[in-house]
Amino acid sequence: MEEKRNTEEIKQKIPWYDLKAQLINIWKNLIHLNADPHDIAFGLALGIFVGFLPIMGIQMVVAGLVCLPFKHANKPAAVAGVWITNPLTVIPIYAFIYWVGTFFYPADHVVTPGTIMTKMTDVLKLDGFIEQTKGFLALGADIFLPMCIGGAVVGLIAMIPTYFITKKSITAYRNKKKAKKNAE
């Protein structure tokens, strides 16, 4: 009983501990944005694309910049999309995009998932964006180029369902809310 109470206290003290609640909160914020469902879905899709690129540390800035040429891309939704890679998911996602990238750019010395996870963990422990970038570049073309290619491929593929699911969900939610309001 004491252990359960301590766990509950930890959850209350550390809000990010409850990942499900955080995702629900992000979704609620997205559906309540004062923007067209297309704009929100397009922004989120662009953010998802950027989130799969191996540029952790500057993803939110890049997502905002990627939205600039597109009149109908919602910037807050794009920034929310980059959180597909977060401290809990970055290692498995980066290992996956590396693996996908090796199909398109056969590296001279393909490393195992365990090796790349160890090397990337060491790089992510470095302080600051510049040091992390230097660390990633030091990994060389055999790791960084496949990651960039794999991230772009996976990001482009993930954009499509993200756009359509988000647009359909927001439209359905708003229509349901409007119908409920009209019925009152």
What average pLDDT does the segment 27-45 reach?
Answer: 87
For 137, residues 6+ apart whose C-beta sits below 8 A from its C-beta are: 144
Which pLDDT score, from 0 to 100, does residue 111 have?
A: 66
For residue 125, give both structure tokens.
């422990």
At 67 the pLDDT is: 93
Instruction: Compute the mean pLDDT over every residue in the chain, rounded to the nearest whole number.
Output: 83
The percentage of residues in the chain with a pLDDT greater than 90, rounded to a whole number, is: 40
- Whole-number Å distance between alpha carbons of 43 and 29: 14
Domain residues of the chain, as ranges? 33-167
CB atoms within 10 A of CB 101: 24
- Say which residue, 94 or 120, is predicted with more confidence: 94
Q: How far apart are CA 7 and CA 82, in angstroms?
A: 29
Both tokens of 60, joined, read 């939110």
Report yes or no: 132 and 126 within 8 Å, Cβ to Cβ: yes
In whole angstroms, what is the distance from residue 134 CA to residue 181 CA?
55
Reported as a single tens digit per residue, the pLDDT across 108-134 is 666 666 776 777 787 778 888 888 777
